[in-house]
Amino acid sequence: MDIEATILIRKLIHEYAARGTAFLISSHVLSELQKVMTSVIIINHGRIIINSPMSKFTQEKNPKSKLKTTDIKQTTNLLQQAKIPFDRQDDAVIVDHKDIDKIQKLLFDNEIWIEYLAPTGLTLEQKIVNILRQEQGGDNNEN
C-alpha cells in the first residue's frame, strides 16, 4: 500500500477499535502491525502460545540503553572503575537502564557529555521469532 492508504487504514482501525471493534489481522509486516496492535496472540500449529496485551508483551525484563559520549574511551574507563556493567558496541556502550542516573552523574562530574542516549531492545519480529524458536526447542541466540 502507498503511504496515504496505510495511514488511512491505520486511522480506521484505531477509530473502530475505540468503539469496541476487534480486528484479527495476519501479516508478515510486523513493524506496520505494531502501530495498531493492542494485544498479540501467537498461534503455532493450531495452539495459542501467547495471548497478551501489547504493553506487557513489549515490556523488557532488563531494559538496556545505548550511550554515546564525547569521549567513549574515558567513559568505558569510568564505568569500569565504578563497577557499572556495560558492553562496548563500536563507538557506544550498552548499559542497564537502571544505571542511567549514576552514569549521568559520573559523566557530568568528569566533564564528559552525552551525545546520544536511547533505549535498545528486540524488535517485535525478533521477539516473535525467539518465542517460536523456544517453542520448537531451537537455539535462541538473540536474548
Which of 18-27, 114-123, 130-139 has the highest mean predicted lDDT (pLDDT)? 114-123
When pLDDT is cut at 50, 70 and 90, the band that residue 138 belongs to is: low
pTM of the predicted model as reported, rounded to 2 decimal places: 0.56
Domains of the chain, first to last? 3-59 (no CATH), 64-120 (3.30.70)
Does residue 32 have a pLDDT over 60?
A: yes
Average pLDDT of the chain, as a whole number: 87
Q: So what's the pLDDT on residue 78?
A: 97
- Check residue 119 and give left, alpha or beta (phi > 0: left; psi -120 to 50: alpha): beta
Q: So what's the pLDDT on residue 143?
A: 44
> Of the given ranges (50-59, 88-97, 101-110, 130-139), which has the lowest mean pLDDT?
130-139
Mean pLDDT across 62-91: 95
Quick: pLDDT tens for 86-112: 999 999 999 999 999 999 999 999 999
Q: So what's the pLDDT on residue 1?
A: 63
Mean pLDDT across 44-51: 88
Quick: pLDDT tens for 2-19: 788 888 888 988 898 889
